[in-house]
Amino acid sequence: MRIGVAGIGKMGAAIAARLIEVGHQVAVWNRTPGKAKAVAGARLAASPFELTQRADVIISSLTDAAALDAVYKGPEGLLSSSVAGKLFIDMSTVLPATEVALAEAVRAKGGAFVECPVGGSTGPARQGKLIGLVGGDANDVARAKPVIEQLCRRFEHAGPVGSGAVLKFAVNLPLMVYWQALGEALALTRRLPVAPERLMDLLSDTSGAATIAKVRAPGVAAMLKGGDPGPVTFNVDGGIKDMKAMVAEAKSRGVTLPVLEQTLACYEETKRHRSGAAEISTVSAYWADRGKQ
Ligand X SMILES: NC(=O)c1ccc[n+]([C@@H]2O[C@H](COP(=O)([O-])OP(=O)(O)OC[C@H]3O[C@@H](n4cnc5c(N)ncnc54)[C@H](OP(=O)(O)O)[C@@H]3O)[C@@H](O)[C@H]2O)c1
Is 132 a residue that touches ligand X (CB under 6 A)? Answer: no
Residue 193 beta carbon to ligand X: minimum distance, rounded to whole angstroms = 35
In terms of CB distance, is 35 or 107 closer to ligand X?
A: 35
For residues 198-257, which are near ligand X according to CB under 6 A? 233-234, 238, 242
| Min separation Cβ 143 and ligand X, Å | 22
| C-beta of 33 vs 208, nearer to ligand X | 33
* Position among 4, 5, 10, 116 found at the interface with ligand X (CB under 6 A): 10
Q: Does 282 bind ligand X (CB under 6 A)?
A: no
Q: Are 5 and 18 spatial neighbours (Cβ–Cβ below 8 Å)?
A: no
Which residues between 112 and 131 bind ligand X (CB under 6 A)? 118, 121-122
Give me the least distance between CB of 97 and ligand X, in Å please: 15
Q: Give the residue closest to ligand X by C-beta.
A: 9
The answer to whether 77 and 230 have CB atoms below 8 angstroms apart is no
- Least distance CB 252 / ligand X (angstroms): 19
User: Which three-class secondary structure state does DSSP give residue 18?
Assistant: helix
For the bound state, the minimum distance from the C-beta of residue 276 to ligand X, rounded and expressed in Å, comes to 11
Nearer to ligand X among residue 199 and residue 264 (C-beta): 264
Q: Are the C-beta atoms of residues 219 and 182 closer than 8 Å to each other?
A: no
3-state secondary structure of 2: strand
The interface region with ligand X, picked from 59-67, 156-164, 197-205, 206-214 by CB under 6 A, is: 59-67
Q: What is the DSSP string of 37-71?
A: HTSTTPEEPSSHHHHHHH-SEEEE--SSHHHHHHH
61 binds ligand X (CB under 6 A): yes
Residue 72 is a binding residue for ligand X (CB under 6 A): no
The CA-based angle 237-239-243, given to 5 degrees, is 120
Minimum distance between the CB of residue 108 and ligand X, rounded to whole angstroms? 21
Residues of this chain, 13-52, that bind ligand X according to CB under 6 A: 30-32, 35
The contacts found for 44-49 with CB under 8 angstroms, 24 or more apart, are 45/4, 47/76, 48/6, 48/72, 48/74, 48/76, 48/77, 48/78, 48/80, 49/76, 49/77, 49/78, 49/80, 49/81
- Residues 6 or more apart whose CB falls under 8 angstroms from that of 221 comprise 195, 196, 197, 199, 200, 201
Give the integer Cα–Cα distance in Å for 59 and 167. 19
Exactly one of 26, 67, 182, 240 binds ligand X (CB under 6 A); that residue is: 67
| Site residues (vs ligand X, CB under 6 A) | 7-12, 30-32, 35, 61-63, 66-67, 70-71, 92-93, 118, 121-122, 233-234, 238, 242
